[in-house]
Amino acid sequence: MHNAALAALGIDWRYLAFNVRPEDLGPAIAGAKATGMIGLNLTVPHKLLAVHLVDVLDESASTWGAVNTVRFEGQASNGDWLPLRCFDEAPAKVRAHGFNTDAEGIILSLREDLGFTAPGTKILLLGAGGAGRAAALRLAAERPREIYLVNRTTQKAEELGLEIRTRYPFVKVNLGYPPGAIDLALNATSLGLKPEDPLPFDPRSLPLKNTKAAYDMIYRPAETAFLAAAKQAGCRVANGLGMLLYQGARALELWTGVPAPVSVMRKALEANVYGSPEVH
Ligand code: ATR
C-alpha cells in the first residue's frame, strides 16, 4: 500500500520489508539512520523494544508505550529538527523520532468504515489482551458514555477497567454484557481467525439486534462468524483492514508531509490481502 501511494504521489522512494531479529533492532535502526532512510515501520515484537532505542518519543508513542513508526529527522542550521525530506544534502546530525499510529488507526477506521464516532456512545469491547487494551484506552479518550468489558480471563478485564477509570474518570466502565442497546460491539479477541473458532461473545447475553454497529479487528477472513451474525441482525459492520490501512496512511503522512492517497492504499492493500479488490 505504501509503494502504491508513493507512485500515486510521484515520490521516488521505496518501501521495503526487512526481517530483523529483536537483538539486532538497535543496530538496524542505527543503520537506517546512517544510510539516510526516511523512516521505518516496526511490527511485533519490535514495537515495545523501539521505545528504548529511538532518540525522542512523540506523545502518541509515550502514551501507548509502543513505537510503530520512526521518522528520521536532521538538525537544520537554526537548530530545528526537520524530516529528512526537507534537506538537499545529508545533515550532520540525524535523530530517530518514534511515533505510534496504531491507536489512531482504529479511531479513523471506525469513523470512515462504520460512520462511528465515540462521544456519548455505549461500547462493548470483547477482549482485553494487547489489542483490546489499546483500543479501549484510545476509545475512552474520545468520551463515550459507557464501556462494557468482556474477557475470558476476568482478571484482565478488571485490570483494564481500573486503568480506564484511572486515566479517563469521565467514562463509566462496566464489567460484563450491557443490559440494553449499544452503539458498538468490537471484537478484539483472536476468536474468528480459525474457521472452527466459537463466536467471541455469548449470543444469549448479547442480542445483536440491539447493537447498531459491529467491528472485528480480524481482517483475515474478511467476514468472521461474528461479523456474519451481526450483518444478519442488521448491524453496520466492518473488519479490521481499515485499522491496518489508516495506521499506514498516518505513517506515510508523517514521512511525506502530504495527505495520504487513502483510496489508492486501500485498493493495493485489498489486492494484497484478499487477492482482489473487496466489494464494499
Ligand atoms: P492481541 O495482542 O492480539 O490482543 P493477546 O494479548 O494474546 O493478543 O489477546 C488475545 C485476546 O483473545 C485476549 O482477550 C484473549 O483472552 P484471555 O485474556 O482470556 O487470554 C482472547 N482469546 C484468545 N483465545 C480465546 C479463547 N479460546 N476464548 C476466549 N477468548 C480468547
User: What does the pLDDT read at residue 247?
Assistant: 97
List the strands of the sheet with 236-239, edge to edge.
Answer: 172-175, 146-150, 122-126, 182-187, 211-216, 236-239
Instruction: Compute the distance between CA of residue 228 and CA of residue 214 in angstroms, rounded to an integer.
Output: 10
Ligand 1, atom 5, lies closest to the CA of 129
Is the CB of residue 226 less than 8 Å from the CB of residue 192? yes
Query: Which grid cell is 108?
Result: 479513523
Determine whether the shortest distance from the Cβ of 232 to ligand 1 is under 6 A: no
Determine whether the shortest distance from the Cβ of 191 to ligand 1 is under 6 A: yes
List the pLDDT tens digit at each of the 280 positions of the chain: 999 999 999 999 999 999 999 999 999 999 999 999 999 999 988 998 999 999 999 999 998 888 999 999 999 999 999 999 999 999 999 999 999 999 999 999 999 999 999 999 999 999 998 889 889 999 999 999 999 999 999 999 999 999 999 999 999 999 999 999 999 999 999 999 999 999 999 999 998 999 999 999 999 999 999 999 999 999 999 999 999 999 999 999 999 999 999 999 999 999 999 996 555 4
- Before 198, cis peptide (omega within 30)? no
User: What does the pLDDT read at residue 280?
Assistant: 47
Tell me the β-bridge partners of 95: 73
Instruction: Compute the distance between CA of residue 210 and CA of residue 158 in angstroms, rounded to an integer.
Output: 25
Provide the 8-state DSSP code for 99. E
Residue 144 CB partners (closer than 8 Å, separation 6+): 118, 119, 120, 121, 122, 123, 171, 183
Instruction: Compute the distance between CA of residue 273 and CA of residue 131 in angstroms, rounded to an integer.
Output: 20
Altogether, the residues listed in the chain come to a count of 280
Task: Give the max Cα distance, the chain.
Answer: 65
Q: Which of 151, 187, 190, 216 to mutate to test the pocket of ligand 1 (most atoms within 8 A of CB)?
A: 190
* Of 227, 182, 215, 31, the residue nearest 105 (C-alpha): 215
User: What does the pLDDT read at residue 29?
Assistant: 98
Instruction: Compute the distance between CA of residue 250 and CA of residue 58 in angstroms, rounded to an integer.
Output: 14
Q: Which residues of 238-271 are buried (b: 16+ CB within 10 A; e: fewer)?
A: bbbbbbbbbbbbbbbebbbeeebbbebbbebbbe
User: What does the pLDDT read at residue 260?
Assistant: 98
Query: Which grid cell is 13?
Result: 522512494
Residue 280 CB partners (closer than 8 Å, separation 6+): none
How many angstroms separate the alpha carbon of residue 261 from the centre of ligand 1? 34
Is the CB of residue 240 less than 8 Å from the CB of residue 248? no
Radius of gyration of the chain (CA): 20
Q: What's the pTM value of the predicted model, to 2 decimals? A: 0.91
Determine whether the shortest distance from the Cβ of 192 to ligand 1 is under 6 A: no
